[in-house]
Amino acid sequence: MIRGVALAATAALLGACATPQPQGSVVLLPDASGKATAVTVTQGARQIVLDQPYAGAQLSSEGPRPFASNAQEVHDRFGAALAARPLPPARFTLYFVEGRDEFTPESKKVIDAIFGEIARRPVPDVQVIGHTDALGADAVNDPLSRQRAEVVRNGLVARGVPADRVVASGRGKREPAVATADGVAEPRNRRVEILVR
Amino acid sequence: MRPHFRAAMLAASLAVTAAMAEDVGQIKVANGQVVVDRAGRPLPARIGMPLAAADVIRTGADGSVGITMRDNSLLSAGPNSVLSLDRFDFDTTTHQGRFESGLQRGTLAVVSGRIAQQSPQAMTVRTPSAVLGVRGTDFVISVP
- What DSSP string describes A174-185? SS-SS---TT--
Collapsed DSSP state (helix, strand, coil) of residue A41: strand
Considering only the top CATH level, what class is A90-196? alpha beta
Cα A64 from Cα A87, distance rounded (Å): 32
Average pLDDT over residues B40-50: 96
A26 CB within 8 Å of a chain B CB:
yes
pLDDT at B25 over 90: yes
Minimum distance, in Å, between the CA of residue A7 and any CA atom of chain B: 31
Is residue B130 predicted with pLDDT exceeding 90?
yes
Q: Has residue B59 got a pLDDT over 90? A: yes
Contacts of A79 in chain B (CB under 8 A): 78
The mean pLDDT value for B103-122 works out to 95
Mutate to test the interface with A, among B82, B125, B142 (most CBs of A within 10 A): B142
Q: How far is B40 from chain A (nearest CA, A)?
A: 25
- Check A84 against B65: CB less than 8 A apart: yes
Tell me the C-alpha distance between B72 and A45, whole Å: 31
Residue A173 DSSP SS3: coil
Of A35 and B64, the structure prediction assigns the larger pLDDT to B64
- Min distance B42 CA to chain A CA atoms (Å): 21
User: Nearest-CA neighbor of B125 among A171, A89, A5, A24?
Assistant: A24
CB B56 within 8 A of CB B82: yes
Please name which of B91, B116, B66, B136 lies closest in space to residue A88, comparing C-alpha atoms.
Answer: B66
Rounded to the nearest 10°, the torsion over CA B53, B59, B65, B71 is 20
pLDDT of residue A107: 80
In sequence order, which residues have a C-beta less than 8 Å from that of residue A57 and are 6 or more positions away? A25, A26, A27, A41, A48, A50, A64, A65, A66, A67
Interface test with A, best of B24, B93, B104, B125 (most A CBs within 10 A): B93
Outline which parts of chain A fall under CATH 3.30.1330.60.
90-196
A174 at B interface, C-beta within 8 A: yes
Examine the pLDDT at B2 and tell me if it is beyond 90. Answer: no
A167 CA to chain B: closest CA distance, Å? Answer: 9
Q: Is the pLDDT of residue B98 over 80?
A: yes
Angle in degrees, CA B116, B117, B121, rounded to 5 = 40
List, run by run, the mean pLDDT of 10-residue segments along chain A (197 residues).
54 58 95 86 97 96 96 98 97 75 77 93 95 92 92 90 94 94 90 95
Chain-chain contact of A64 with B130 (C-beta, under 8 angstroms): yes
ipTM: 0.85
Q: What pLDDT score was predicted for residue A2?
A: 53
Q: Any idea which of A182-191, B49-58, B86-95 has the lowest mean pLDDT?
A: A182-191
Q: Are B104 and B84 in contact (CB under 8 A)?
A: yes
Q: What is the mean pLDDT of residues B48-59?
A: 97
What's the rounded mean pLDDT across residues B6-22?
A: 44
Instruction: Name chain B contacts of A86, Cβ cutoff 8 Å.
Output: 28-29, 66-68, 74, 76
Residue B1 pLDDT exceeds 90? no
pTM above 0.90, yes or no: no
The predicted pLDDT at position A176 comes to: 94
A23 touches chain B (CB under 8 A): yes
Residue of A nearest to B134 (CA): A39
pLDDT band per the 50, 70, 90 thresholds, residue B13: very low
Instruction: Give dist(CA A160, CA A152) in Å, integer.
Output: 13
Residue B55 has pLDDT above 90, yes or no: yes
What pLDDT sits at residue B7?
47
